[in-house]
Amino acid sequence: MLQVDVWSDIACPFCYIGKRSFETALATFEHADEVEVRWHSFELDPDAPPASDTGVDEMLARKYGVSLEQARQMNARVAEMGAAVGLEFDFARVRPGNTFAAHRVVKFADTEDLGAAAAEELFAAYFTRGANLSDPDVLADTVAVLGLDRAESRAVAAGTAFTTEVRADESRARKLGITGVPYFLVQSRYAITGAQSRETFGRALDRAWELVTASASEAS
């Protein structure tokens, strides 16, 4: 079995793009049924307020000390990257906010083997509809399409369930020296950072599979 550990944040556009590129590579990987993917939580801004009236362009301009027009151009380039892998970004609607509740809801979904699917729904809700990732009702409605019980999802989002699991992911990230996401760790050996191409992920999977089969041959 080949293991891939992925750290990402729902409010990170490059994480969304990287997820899509990785999953596209995995779909064409000859040994995909022998790959176990584990999605881990990472908060780029754990101190962010629950919601903000400020748009993402304004936030980016302040963060990097650039003009508002330059920030818009930066986001436009990210949107182009997303479009290249079939994703839609509407940065005019995005409102930055805290993602801790969203991460806990993903952990809840993962108990039904729906963690990656829940993350996908939340990415889309945030980047195409400007969903508030701290609102329990919004989170519950978003993942309800997967068949998850809305009341249970809302209770998780509004409470503290799965806090330990999220914090454990973040603690492991710190121990590994992860400071940015997306971060892909293939077979605890090959680290891939950023929204890389499908080809890059494919090569990493191939190399890791060679390592797995070589180890199996030596063991036998």
Amino acid at 105: V
The span from the CA of 165 to the CA of 140, in Å, is 19
CATH superfamily of 2-219: Glutaredoxin (3.40.30.10)
Sign of dihedral through CA atoms 65, 67, 73, 76? positive
Residue with tokens 């760790």: 185
What confidence tens digit (pLDDT) does each residue in 137-169 have? 999 999 999 999 999 999 999 999 999 999 999
- Each residue's pLDDT, cut to its tens digit, for the chain (220 residues) gives 899 999 999 999 999 999 999 999 999 999 999 999 999 999 999 999 998 888 999 999 999 999 999 999 999 999 999 999 999 999 999 999 999 999 999 999 999 999 999 999 999 999 999 999 999 999 999 999 999 999 999 999 999 999 999 999 999 999 999 999 999 999 998 999 999 999 999 999 999 999 888 876 666 5
- Whose CA is closest to 47, among 95, 96, 14, 93? 96
The mean predicted confidence, pLDDT, of the chain is 95
Phi, psi torsion values for 20, nearest 5 degrees: -65, -40
Residue 219: per-residue pLDDT: 63
The span from the CA of 134 to the CA of 124, in Å, is 15
Q: Which two tokens stand for residue 218?
A: 């030596």
The span from the CA of 74 to the CA of 83, in Å, is 14
Residue 213: per-residue pLDDT: 86
- Whose CA is closest to 155, among 167, 145, 164, 143? 143
Residue with tokens 């993962």: 110
- In the chain, DSSP assigns E strands to 2-8, 35-41, 183-186, 190-193
8 A C-beta contact, residue 150 and residue 141: yes
pTM exceeds 0.85 for this model:
yes
Residue 215: per-residue pLDDT: 74
